[in-house]
Amino acid sequence: MSKKFFGTDGVRGTVGSDPMTADFAMRLASAAAQVLVPAGGTVVIGKDTRLSGYLFESALEAGFVAAGADVLLIGPLPTPGIARLTQELDADLGVVISASHNPYVDNGIKFFDRSGSKLTDEVERKIEEHLKKPAITLESQSLGKAKRIDTARSRYQEFCIASVPDGLSLAGLKVVFDGANGAGYKVGPRTLASLDAEVIPIGCSPNGKNINDGCGTTAPELLQLTVPAVRADVGVALDGDGDRFIMVDENGELIDGDQLLYILATDRHRQGRLKGPVVGTVMSNLGLENALKAEDIEFMRANVGDRHVLEALKKTGGVIGGETSGHMIVLDKTTTGDGLICALQVLVVMKETGKPLSELAAGMPKYPQTMVNVRTENPFDPDSSSEIQAAIAAAEAELADSGRVVLRASGTEPVIRVMVEGEDHDQVVSIANRLATIVAESAA
């Protein structure tokens, strides 16, 4: 059975339009409580810095309390911080109000189970079944209660610091930190400063509307300009909810998730600490696969989405996986994708090896890769079009064994993503544009 509301990462949409309304949020809380929270159980609710976070925080609180759950309100904190606190506070459910890298006019709601892991498709389907019924309100003696937790940020900060080897200091590293005006705007700079790094913050002045606006992982240009301008050693950028990151080397060059995955995997491999295969996705650069193969490191691809990467890691016993976008999971440090903790692991490699980020990333040559997003008005499955499949087959024959073609529907936006990579940049761009045109015509 397909899901109506849950996408790749929770429920998401434009605020004020279905499903991102106060009424839906309250009903969603009621449904989730009935599936996942026992009588008298506890729910942790955190959010990013969007103006609409206040609205959905109140609506969710009402829905959970009415269903008999106690609510702990965390306030702005990175998504992985909520996953961690769900475990630490022995809660039955963690809830994050965020639309991640989307603009402030959007928002979303995603859940973690009591182990700090994202929900399975099966559990999400059960919640959707309960959404068909009205929200419940118990009798007064059975209602839950709510309170704010003032120590949440410091708890998560201590957890991040503990991911660094005992006694290791980041003294001597000058770091420009871009918080995307989002959930990590306070905890990021404070964690780095606590580890003795010299920190220059940008994108750390949220006003409710400027999240991801010209800053963060989706707009790293300011970070790329700032790092060499202030002669910093490295730049770190989070996205709006802090579960993904990218870095910038000392020359202002962008280092993406594939390169960062290569750095962490090869460092652990050389130290004999790498377990299982490294897991990427169907969108991971072919250069990553080939570079890891040259180091005798097993690599496998999962479907797009950090939840699929996590599932593959758990099945294979792996500990490191991630996406080109900067979603990365290091299971020997945390249970879910965590931009700040993963960035710290890269900084540790820099500190322990004494090598600049540019040198660490140089071992992974990137194949030219082009992504074209084709916007669609209605749901559309490119696999159902014989014309599109014939065009893909022709493109793959043209690339031979030196490239790849991937078409997929986005789980968070009404677009079909057309990705082509290969050894020749001009050929890759030409094929991607040709396929995008065919997809647009077929979807019209």
- Kindly give the confidence (pLDDT) of every residue in the chain, 444 residues in length, as a single tens digit, with 9 standing for 90 and above: 678 999 878 999 999 999 999 999 999 999 999 999 999 999 999 999 999 999 999 999 999 999 999 999 999 999 999 999 999 999 999 999 999 999 999 999 999 999 998 999 999 999 999 999 999 999 999 999 999 999 999 999 999 999 999 999 999 999 999 999 999 999 999 999 999 999 999 999 999 999 999 999 999 999 999 999 999 999 999 999 999 999 999 999 999 999 999 999 999 999 999 999 999 999 899 999 999 999 999 999 999 888 899 999 999 999 999 999 999 999 999 989 999 999 999 999 999 999 999 999 999 999 999 999 998 877 778 888 889 999 999 999 999 878 899 998 876 678 899 999 999 999 999 999 999 999 998 887
What whole-number distance in Å separates Cα of residue 322 and Cα of residue 325?
Answer: 8
Look up 100 and say whether it is catalytic: yes
What is residue 379's predicted lDDT score, i.e. its pLDDT? 72
Annotation: CATH topology of 11-150: Alpha-D-Glucose-1,6-Bisphosphate; Chain A, domain 3 (3.40.120)
Cβ atoms of 278 and 320 closer than 8 Å:
yes
What are the start and end residues of each CATH 3.30.310.50 domain in the chain?
Answer: 369-443
What whole-number distance in Å separates Cα of residue 396 and Cα of residue 385?
Answer: 17
Give the type of residue at 190. Answer: R
Rounded (5°) CA angle 305-244-410: 35
Write down the catalytic residue from 30, 52, 98, 100: 100
Rounded (5°) CA angle 375-379-384: 100
What is residue 80's predicted lDDT score, i.e. its pLDDT? 96
Burial call 335-370: b when 16+ CB within 10 Å, e when fewer: bbbbbbbbbbbbbbbbbeeeeebeebbeebebbbbb
How far out from the chain centre does Cα 144 lie?
Answer: 31
Tokens 């600490």 found at: 273
Both tokens of 250, joined, read: 């000392």
What whole-number distance in Å separates Cα of residue 15 and Cα of residue 105?
Answer: 6
Residue 118 pairs with which residues in a beta bridge?
Answer: 112
pTM: 0.90
Which three-class secondary structure state does DSSP give residue 216? coil
Dmax (CA) for the chain in angstroms is 69
CATH of 369-443, picked from 2.60.40.10, 3.40.190.10, 3.40.50.300, 3.30.310.50, is 3.30.310.50
What whole-number distance in Å separates Cα of residue 404 and Cα of residue 141?
Answer: 60
Sheet containing 404-409, strands listed edge to edge, beginning at the edge strand earlier in sequence: 369-375, 415-421, 404-409
What whole-number distance in Å separates Cα of residue 340 and Cα of residue 360?
Answer: 19
Cβ atoms of 284 and 301 closer than 8 Å:
yes
What whole-number distance in Å separates Cα of residue 117 and Cα of residue 219?
Answer: 28
What are the start and end residues of each CATH 3.40.120.10 domain in the chain?
Answer: 11-150, 156-164+171-361
Distances (CA, A) of 285 to 38, 159, 186, 304, 421: 44, 31, 33, 13, 8
What is residue 1's predicted lDDT score, i.e. its pLDDT? 61
What whole-number distance in Å separates Cα of residue 80 and Cα of residue 344?
Answer: 14
At the top level of CATH, which class does the domain 156-164+171-361 belong to?
A: alpha beta
* Sign of torsion over alpha carbons 304, 307, 308, 314: positive
What is residue 377's predicted lDDT score, i.e. its pLDDT? 79
What whole-number distance in Å separates Cα of residue 367 and Cα of residue 305?
Answer: 21
